[in-house]
Amino acid sequence: MVNGTTSATKFGGTSSASPAKGKKEKRAGARAREETGIHADVEIIHSFGVHGPVRNNVGLLPILDEHGTPKDHAIFPSGQHVAMMRIEDGDMRFLVNKMRQGTMRQIVALTLSPNRKHVAICERILEELVPDATEHHRDVTHVSVYRHISTEDGRGRLTQRKTPPLTYPSDHPVHFKCVDFSSDSKLLVAVADDPDLTIVVWHWEKDKISHQCQLLNMSKEKVDVTRVCFPPNDKTCVTTSGHMSLKMWSLNPDGGVSQKNLLPPNKGQENFVDHAWMSGRGDAIRRMVAVTDGVSRDHGLNLDGKEDSREFLILIFEAMDNPSSMELRKNFSASLPGTSRVETITPYGKGFVVAGSSGFFSVYERTDDRKDPYLLIKTFSKNEYMASETFMSMAASPNDEMLVAITKDKDIYSFPLGNIDIMDDTENHFQHVCAGGLHRGKVLAMDLCLQKPVLVTCGEDRTIRLWDYQRWRCELSHECTEEPVAVALHPTGFQLLVGFKERVRVFNVLHKEMKMYREMPITKCRELQYSHGGHQFACASSISIVVYCSYTFQLLNTFTGHIGPVRRISWAPNDLSIFSAGVDGNVYGWELTTGARIEEVSQLNQSIAYSGLAVSIPKKKNEKASLIACSIDGALREVTWNWGMPDTQQIRGSEPVPNSEALNMLAQGYSSTITVVALAHNGTYLVAGTSNGAIHVYAWPLTDELTAGKVPPHVEYPVHNGAVEALCIAPDDSYVFSASADGSIFVLRISATLPVPAKGGAITAQGEGAAEEGGDGAAAEGEGDGMRALQLGMQTGLNLSLFNLDVVQVSLEELEDRRREVDDMSKKVEEMKSDNDFALHRKDLDWEIEIKRVNEEKDNLVAAEQARFSDLQKLHDETKGKHLNIVQRKEDNHVKVTQELENQYEFKLAMEMERYDKLSEEIEAIQQRCEGLLEAQAAEHESKVRDHDAKSKRVEKELRMEIEKLQDDAKHNEQAFKEVLDQQEQEYEKELQQLMDAAQVELSLERKYTNKMKKLVQDRSTTIARLEKKMYELKTAAEMRDVMLSADKVKNEKLSATLDHFKRHMEERESTLEDKEKGILELRRKNITLDNFRFVLDHRVQQLMEERGPITRHIEGLEGHIDAMYDELEREYHSKKQTDQQVDAKDMKIRTLGSELLVLRTSLVEKESYIASFKRDLSTLVGVSSPKDIEDAVKDAYHKYVKEEAPRRRAVRR
């Protein structure tokens, strides 16, 4: 369990994320343990990294947590595995992948089923076969389906199970690159396009191919399919998109596949990068949307020197009932900013999202308009933070609240799709799903802190990242101006060394940043290591190793001896010695106290470069010490000696890669070598990383197979998609960390029982059986041959008591900033308090005044209503008296009328009784006549029935005799027919056998002829393709020459026009010069005249200067007077301004009083109309004469004017 909730993925012996194994899996696991002698489980706890760039490699699905609440999980490939990460807190689960040793997997594509329960993965397998096979390796691509990935059992573990891989039998490797489920999640389609287009449809639960199609590629262009999709609620066809292709493939009942081009004949082909079927709205319309890349097919510049406009097409297809009747309904173009390129499209509940390079991200929503079914809502292309990102794959959550996207640089982002309506398209709304981001290139170095659960890495993306493996996130990230090649983290976690090609920099690891503290002029640094105590650090500077004090940064030692760059450095556990391995093939060790070289390790010197190094030094002398190193030729070499005792070394190692063919296989990934090794702190196991991304686990000390030149028994687990560059083991041996060239970092937990020999004994099956009986979590001892089994000291989780989690490092500058922020916030709080108090006081005063005014109005209204009520009550009493008198008169009149009606009724009743008696007598007479007639009719009917019965019996007897005769004839005819039929069947079988023999001979001849013709067609097709290619090249060259010629012609025409323009310009300049010379002569004459006039004016100015004295004094007096007038005007202006303000205030008061007066007048008019209405009703009431009408009118008036209710409607009396 991770963080108490998540079950990690295990490989090897057991798996906590999978159900109980079957008998077949148990037998396979037991056979693997018998081969290796090791029982081990590797749990993948977490990973920092995304495998890519892959087009279809992300999905979103809800999984219930321990409280039954659905949480969004992003599913994506990481390394050689598929990760499911809870977006809320970064918790990870992995889909189990078990493969044989020597196998490397590369995930090409994945897809989620519509019911979100299954996931299908296209995976390319590089499988190493047995040595005696005809081929040493096999390149296999198949599709795997994981079932019930989102279902948990009662203990919070996933119940996912992997089905057998779905393969396609073919003579050559078929590499599937995209896959999709049908709408009922029962069919699965996969498409491959190299070298030929292949479409395969499986009933994946039955492991049965239902449809298949393979088309030979006769064109000179490579077929490129980017997406395959099943239409919603339909399993009879699939659609594909790709380069110059957008097609529908019908799945025929006979298992074949037929194609249909979706574009009309007059429509030009485009590069369709992606397409998607839209989710239905409950109607019969089905829509499919396809997009083009938007890349311009023209040259980069026009003749005018302007850049071509860039647009991409959106094509909308519609089908009413059957998708095969789909037709292009609408196509429109959308602009692309800058050099953007469309890469992918994904549907969601309200529409679809289009994304591409340069951070291009557009959201379209569905409309009710059939002519314009989709409308652009927002385009996020002005975000500088995402300008360098290229979205390759996207997926939306089922509730349309979130969208996740994976970029080309192998990073994963989330986008709040549910808030699209309120977003600003200039801001950044994308968030890293993996908090802090990921490496976007090869991870070059890694180191681990001893006192904090942190890990530091550096990569080719020029970033240094600090990872917290307790909370699973990137705590700090620092971007460098140059590529860092080595890192080392101080045991306290507060200091960081970063090596560059020309220098080494020391950083202080602060709370929120990494701040450079010091720079050291150490060049060609390839490796950095702090001592276990943290008081010293070693640096591999080219061919030398320099040791510095980590407190004073004073150089303590310089060790030389290597003639090539140093690749690895390792400190002894007591920090009194240091060891190194270099690309020159030499391994050295030195004592730090004396500077003496440890000659025992020099026995491993050779001519092949070393890539990994691990040492085991005892605490006491005369105990066994070991050093193990791995080289680039695939060999694993070990030297052991008694510590402090000379001439006691022993050397053993495995055989290197033998020949150039094996080296070629190694370069292609079909074989692997060990690139880095790490030894557990408790000295019970050795972990190694390989060039194909696998992790090897060895028992330590290594077994005797190494002495014989063989690889020691080990267990291999696929992890990364690239070579493992670094390995680290947690201080408490709880986790193993591996970093790879694919940019991913994996956190593993190894729990195993490793049987090792006691005093040189060999591993036996009996010892392994004892280990197996001990189970996964306990140590076991064998009883035969003195065997003992060691349990790896791996804990089930982090031992947080070993870490200093309560202390962080903060700079003084940050403290001052925080103090200033606190002071500013305190001041703001005080100001807000005073403002709130003042506002509350003002509110209280305003409400008191308002309440007082309302109370006064209420009292006035109550008094007025009381007076009105008393008047109405008096009027009501008078009206009531009048009404009672009228009612009394009405009742007297009613008694008289009633008496008259009763008398009339009694007379009518007597008349009707007499009439009733007469009618009764007539009815009795009629009944007697009817009874007589009925009796006569019944007797006649009985006689007729007896006659019909006798006649039917005679007819029945005749028919029965005729039926018996016909049955006898039928039996005779049937017997004769059977005899004839048997004779004809024998004749037909003989004739059919003869025809089948002849057809078989003819078919064999036809097959031979067909094969011969196929070869001939293939040869001719190859020749035709080669000639077409040559013709295409010649045509292209001719077109280029025509373009250049036309460009030269245009250029010559422009130059001719320019020359003519220059000639005309020169002529105009010559004529202009002549005019200007004439003008200059005239100006010279005028100048002479002006000189004479100036002399006269100078004399006059001199006279005026003499007269200026009195005028100047007069002007000064005028200026003083003007100042005084200006001051007076200013005072008058201010007084006028105040007056205007007072006038405005009075005008406002007048308007306010006017509005109040208007309200009062309106109220008065309403009341007058109310009174007038009441008077009219009273007048009407007085004119009513009927008592009932008077009562109804009074009640209506009471409800209308007293209770202020709507008048009741009464039925109109007739």
Average pLDDT over residues 512-522: 91
* Beta-sheet pairing, 9-12 with 39-48: antiparallel
Query: In which region does residue 953 sit, left (phi positive, over 0), alpha (psi from -120 to 50) or beta (all else)?
Result: alpha
Rounded to 10°, the helix 765-773/23-36 angle is 130
**Strands, DSSP E only, in 336-390?**
342-348, 351-356, 361-366, 374-379
Q: Over range 934-944, report the average pLDDT.
A: 80
Question: Is the CB of residue 396 less than 8 Å from the CB of residue 415?
Answer: no
- Placement of tokens 């197996």 in the chain: 772
How far, in Å, CA of 1117 to CA of 1109, rounded? 13
Alpha helices (runs of H) in 660-750, residue ranges in sequence order: 660-668
pLDDT exceeding 90 applies to what percent of the chain?
22
Residue 770: pLDDT band with limits 50, 70, 90: very low
Question: pLDDT band for position 34 (50/70/90)?
Answer: low
Specify which residues 676 forms β-bridges with: 689
Q: Are 94 and 107 in contact (CB under 8 A)?
A: no
Largest CA distance in the chain: 171
Confidence label for 669 from pLDDT (cuts 50, 70 and 90): low
Task: Encode burial over 510-530: b for 16+ CB neighbours within 10 A, e otherwise.
Answer: beeebeeeeebebebbbbbbb
State mean pLDDT over 954-966.
82
pLDDT of 105 higher than 70: yes
Question: What pLDDT score does 2 carry?
Answer: 33
State pLDDT tens for residues 1087-1102: 888 888 878 888 878 7
Contact 651, 635 (CB under 8 A): no
Rounded distance, CA 527 to CA 458, Å? Answer: 12
- What was the pLDDT predicted at 804? 80
> Distance between CA 552 and CA 556 in Å, rounded?
10
By CB neighbour count within 10 A (0-12 exposed, 13-18 middle, 19+ buried), where does 89 fall?
middle
Mean pLDDT estimate for the chain: 81
Q: Contact at 8 Å (CB) between 156 and 133?
A: no
CA-closest candidate to residue 599, choices 607, 608, 609, 589: 589
Question: How confident is the model at residue 929, as a pLDDT?
Answer: 79
Please determine, for residue 778, whether its predicted confidence score (pLDDT) is greater than 80: no
Query: Region 309-336: what's the mean pLDDT?
Result: 83
Q: Are 456 and 467 in contact (CB under 8 A)?
A: yes
Question: For residues 327 and 478, what is the distance between their CA atoms, to the nearest angstrom?
Answer: 53
- In 483-576, beta strands by DSSP E: 486-489, 495-499, 504-509, 514-520, 525-530, 536-541, 544-549, 555-559, 566-571
Query: What's the rounded mean pLDDT across residues 353-376?
Result: 89
Comparing 967 with 158, which gets the higher pLDDT? 967
Q: What is the pLDDT, as a whole number, of residue 130?
A: 38
Burial 647-662, CB ≥16 within 10 A → b, else e: eebeebbbebbeeeeb
> In the prediction, which pLDDT does 891 show?
84
* pLDDT attached to residue 923: 84
Share of the chain above pLDDT 70, in %: 85
Reported confidence tier of residue 1214, pLDDT bands at 50, 70, 90: very low
pLDDT > 60? residue 878: yes
Query: Residue 494: which pLDDT band, with cuts at 50, 70 and 90?
Result: very high
Range of lowest pLDDT (61-75, 171-185, 215-229, 937-951): 215-229
Q: Following CA atoms 590, 591, 593, 596 in sequence, which dihedral angle do they give, to the nearest 10 degrees?
A: -70
Residue 240's nearest CA partner among 187, 197, 278, 284 is 197
- Whether residue 897 is predicted with pLDDT greater than 70 in this model: the reply is yes
Quote the CA–CA distance of 549 and 530 in Å, as a whole number: 10
pTM: 0.65
Measured CA to CA in angstroms, residue 217 lies from 193, 1002, 1015 at distances of: 9, 30, 15
Torsion of CA 689, 690, 692, 694, to 10 degrees: -40
**pLDDT tens digits for 642-659?**
888 877 788 888 888 665
Q: Rounded to an integer, what distance in angstroms lies between the CA atom of residue 274 and that of residue 314?
A: 10
Looking at 3-7, 831-835, 899-903, 909-913, which range is the least confident one?
A: 3-7
CB 213 within 8 A of CB 205: no
Please enumerate in sequence order all residues whose Cβ is within 8 A of that of 565, keeping only pairs 6 or more positions apart, or say none: 524, 526, 540, 542, 543, 582, 583, 584
Amino acid at 214: Q
For residue 614, pLDDT over 80 is answered with: yes
Looking at residues 911-925, what average pLDDT do you find?
Answer: 81
- Provide the phi-psi class of 1146: left if phi over 0, else alpha when psi is between -120 and 50, else beta: alpha
Reported as a pLDDT band with limits 50, 70 and 90, residue 27 is low
Mean pLDDT of 43-72: 84
User: How many residues would you count in the chain?
Assistant: 1214
pLDDT of residue 1207: 60
Own/partner pairs, 679-684, CB within 8 angstroms, 24+ separation: 679/614, 679/615, 679/616, 679/628, 679/729, 680/729, 680/733, 680/792, 680/793, 681/729, 681/731, 681/732, 681/733, 682/733, 682/793, 683/616, 684/754, 684/790, 684/792, 684/793
Whether 567 contacts 527, CB under 8 Å:
yes
The answer to whether residue 801 scores a pLDDT higher than 80 is: no
Q: Is 474 exposed, middle or buried (0-12, 13-18, 19+ CB in 10 A)?
A: buried
Instruction: Over range 1185-1198, report the average pLDDT.
Output: 83
Range in 380-389, 525-534, 592-601, 1198-1207 with the lowest mean pLDDT: 1198-1207
CA R_g for the chain: 51
- pLDDT for position 919: 83
713-741 confidence digits (pLDDT tens)? 888 888 998 899 999 999 888 899 999 99
- Evaluate whether 606 touches 650 at the Cβ level (below 8 Å): no
Report, as an integer, the average pLDDT of 1120-1134: 86
Q: Which pair of structure tokens corresponds to residue 1122?
A: 């003007």
Residue 591's pLDDT band (cuts 50, 70, 90): very high
Query: Residue 924: its pLDDT value, please?
Result: 79
598, HSE (Cβ side, Cα atoms, 13 Å)? 30
Q: Stretch 1112-1119: mean pLDDT, rounded?
A: 82
**pLDDT tens column, 266-279:** 666 778 899 999 87
Q: What pLDDT is stored for residue 1197 in this prediction?
A: 82
Residue carrying structure tokens 């290229």: 390
- Distances in whole angstroms, Cα of residue 225 to Cα of each of 342, 367, 591: 16, 30, 62
Which of 67-81, 108-122, 982-996 shows the lowest mean pLDDT across its residues?
982-996
Say which residue the tokens 């200039």 belong to: 426
Predicted pLDDT at 769: 34
Calculate mean pLDDT across residues 1209-1214: 47
Mean pLDDT of all residues in 305-311: 57
pLDDT at residue 355, rounded to an integer: 92
Any long-range contacts for 1071-1080 (C-beta under 8 Å, 24+ apart)?
none
Between 1030 and 530, the more confident residue is 530
Q: What is the pLDDT of residues 119-156, one digit of tens each?
A: 998 888 876 543 444 444 566 778 888 887 766 654 44
Distance, in Å, from the CA atom of 407 to the CA atom of 439, rounded to the nearest integer, reads 12
Residue of 749, 752, 753 lying closest to 796 (CA atoms): 749
Cβ-contact 44, 85 below 8 angstroms: no
For residue 758, pLDDT over 60 is answered with no
